[in-house]
Structure 1
Amino acid sequence: MKAIEVITTARLHLGFYNFLESNTAYGSIGVSIDRPVARVVVKPSKDLVVNNFTDVKVEDVVELVTSKIGISNIEINIYSAIPRHVGLGSTTQLSLAIAYAINKLFNLGYSIRDLAALLGRGLVSGIGTAAFEKGGFIVDSGRFLNNNKILHEPKKGDDLPRVVYWAKLPRNWYFITIVPMNIQGLSEREEKRILSLPKKPPIEFQYELYKTLLLEMIPAISERNAKKFGKALTKIQLLTGKYFSRHQQGIFCCKETETIVNLLLKYGVYGVGQSSWGPVAYGIIDDRKKARIIMNNVLRELNNKGIKEYMAFIAKPNNRGATVKVVG
């Protein structure tokens, strides 16, 4: 019996370069990383069968996907999943993985972007959808407001933020990624409430973001200069955190994430950030041995401070999209 396997990976949100200008709301920067991984296999069945071989909650995602697509005579096997609500883009990747497998199994003809819109993804950011589609380093266009102050959910694929810049990141760039224990980022409902009504910051604030992205971060990729990239990343992250500080505990979501960021800098990473609403924190370095030493030093100090990690790993850029194949 034919089955479709889809494997996709986590993403890190690197911040925003725009918040509100010329009827364009937001504008995201992000990167696909090679771990953690979501692996899903879907095959025909008389009834809906869900086999979840992970400890990640998936019921709401399965319900959303099957109800929106209108197909439930399938068996969904989830062999691995990205932890949810920690800032790694799990919900988008899992929902697209299941939906795209169904799409291929029944030859429904949806594009990835159409599926994302159908599933309610891409209200603010197109990074998750683009990461599923092509991986790599991504800058998206933001959303056009059409003289409306309120941002509404996309109705079709064309409503999603478009990729305006894409590049492969060097494979010898490493992201030290740490998630503190027992902390979650904002729920999607809270996020929608906050982000659906974008506020315009001072023009000098936005200019600094534009300048940092265009004159520092993007050139650093073509130059393969991880130090320059990291410096630009930190600057964009601090500005993004300042913009959202009224909705979280300051520049970062919580004291645990702030502590991780400071320790990463202390031990020598080139740049740092919080992905989405956290609590995941990350730092970039261009040497795997150094990355391992830095991560171990940070984890040791966190333990001394009474901060436990939920997960910690070293990721490389993932410069391709989800893999899809027929199995069985």
Structure 2
Amino acid sequence: MKLNSPSRIHMGLIDLNGELGRVDGGVGVALDYPNFQIEGKESSEIEIDFRIEIDEKDKENLESRIKNAAKNVLDIIGETGISLKVNDAILSHSGLGSGTQVSLSTGKITSLVYGIDLNAETLAKITGRGGTSGIGVAAFETGGFIVDGGHTFGEGKDKIDFRPSSASKDVKPSPVLFRHDFDWDIVLTIPKGEQVCGDREVDIFRKFCPVPTEDVQKICRLVLMKMMPAVIEKDFDSFGKVVNELQNLGFKRAEVGLQKESLKGLLSKLQEVSYSGISSFGPTIYSLGDKDTITEISNEFFDKFGIEGEIISTKANNSGYEIIK
């Protein structure tokens, strides 16, 4: 049995202010490619076989995530082992949601091999995902363009402080407020380089939160009154203008500001010919527009700064994970 799950772009967190008693919330799109593919069968112990070439450090990180997710699910369903083969993977810490997809995919294939079908919300709780953004969990389950409603905030609530999903293990996934098929192609520019994760990610949340109330108010208005209707009405320009504007608001402004000057320059240049933003903490830039022009500018950037990277033309995944028997 095989399972394919989508990657995702994260366009922004909605409310990292918390005055209304709720925090987080997010906007994002599930992607058809890159994806994570894992194959599973019964075993008496946890076995992991990589069928792809992968950097040794990334392999260790990925193996650890898979092992932990498999063990947590096996403990719940009362089994001792699973044999897993990794056939494809999403680059770790690139802004494409690899951590959530690895955990949910591993958990799902492990439970299904033993005839138990655990839903995405249950798997997220078991594997400790979705503690800040609900986009990755919803992308796995249904795909599409997604807006989630975050978490209750304050003493005795879901969360009492600002922190990323990696440091929010016991928080339930966010409710999905809006989900719709997404029809526009997307180009990903993925430079290799510095990545934000772990303790550094936690420190960034502490430093830049809470964000100004006026930023949150503007983000909410843009998402509710411009972005969501644009998806329904297939209004490409209205949707894209919000993408560009979000880069200068709220926590996204901090995420963009932390990028290298060369990457910020590329983002500005791409915004001259397309609608572009940083996905999550980056370094991936997603762009909507003419694929050839976006690719040409991205390649010029890689050549100019001597940076290795990847440019991927992709589309939305509007169905979520897929089981291949």
Could you tell me how far apart the structure 2 residues matched to 1:116 and 1:73 are? Answer: 20
1:197-212 aligned within 5 A: 199-212=209-222
Query: Per-residue CA shift, 1:203-233, capped at 9, x if unaligned?
Result: 3222111111112111111221111111011
1:217 and 1:228 in contact (8 A); partners too: yes
Change over 3 Å in CA distance of 1:212–1:176 after alignment to 2 = same
Change over 3 Å in CA distance of 1:83–1:72 after alignment to 2 = farther
Equivalent residue for 1:282? 286
Change over 3 Å in CA distance of 1:133–1:46 after alignment to 2 = same
Offset of residue 27 of structure 1? 1.1
Within the alignment, does 1:162 sit opposite 2:175 as a pair? Answer: yes
Matching residue's letter, 1:48: I
Could you tell me how far apart the structure 1 residues matched to 2:301 and 2:173 are? Answer: 42
Offset of residue 118 of structure 1? 1.3
1:254 and 1:279 in contact (8 A); partners too: no
Could you tell me how far apart the structure 1 residues matched to 2:113 and 2:127 are? Answer: 18
Offset of residue 241 of structure 1? 5.0
SS across alignment from 1:244: helix
Query: Per-residue CA shift, 1:231-272, capped at 9, x if unaligned?
Result: 011111221456526xxxx62522232122122123x11x21
1:29 and 1:127 in contact (8 A); partners too: yes
Offset of residue 298 of structure 1? 2.7
Could you tell me how far apart the structure 2 residues matched to 1:165 and 1:126 are? Answer: 12
1:130 to 113, 129, 138: 138
Change over 3 Å in CA distance of 1:110–1:23 after alignment to 2 = same
Could you tell me how far apart the structure 2 residues matched to 1:192 and 1:117 are? Answer: 20
Change over 3 Å in CA distance of 1:272–1:213 after alignment to 2 = same
Equivalent residue for 2:125? 117
Could you tell me how far apart the structure 2 residues matched to 1:73 and 1:183 are? Answer: 36
Change over 3 Å in CA distance of 1:36–1:47 after alignment to 2 = same
Unaligned runs of 5+ in 1: none
Equivalent residue for 1:255? 261
Could you tell me how far apart the structure 2 residues matched to 1:253 and 1:241 are? Answer: 13
Equivalent residue for 1:78? 86
Equivalent residue for 1:29? 27
1:39 and 1:78 in contact (8 A); partners too: yes
1:181-200 aligned within 5 A: 181-184=192-195, 186-195=196-205, 199-200=209-210
Offset of residue 316 of structure 1? 0.8
Equivalent residue for 1:9? 6
Change over 3 Å in CA distance of 1:209–1:26 after alignment to 2 = same
Could you tell me how far apart the structure 2 residues matched to 1:90 and 1:133 are? Answer: 15
2:215 and 2:250 in contact (8 A); partners too: no
Unaligned runs of 5+ in 2: none
1:44 and 1:73 in contact (8 A); partners too: yes
Q: CA RMSD in A?
A: 2.2
Q: TM-score, normalised by structure 2?
A: 0.87
Could you tell me how far apart the structure 1 residues matched to 2:258 and 2:278 are? Answer: 7
1:9 and 1:322 in contact (8 A); partners too: yes
1:175 and 1:282 in contact (8 A); partners too: yes
Give identity over the alignment, percent: 25
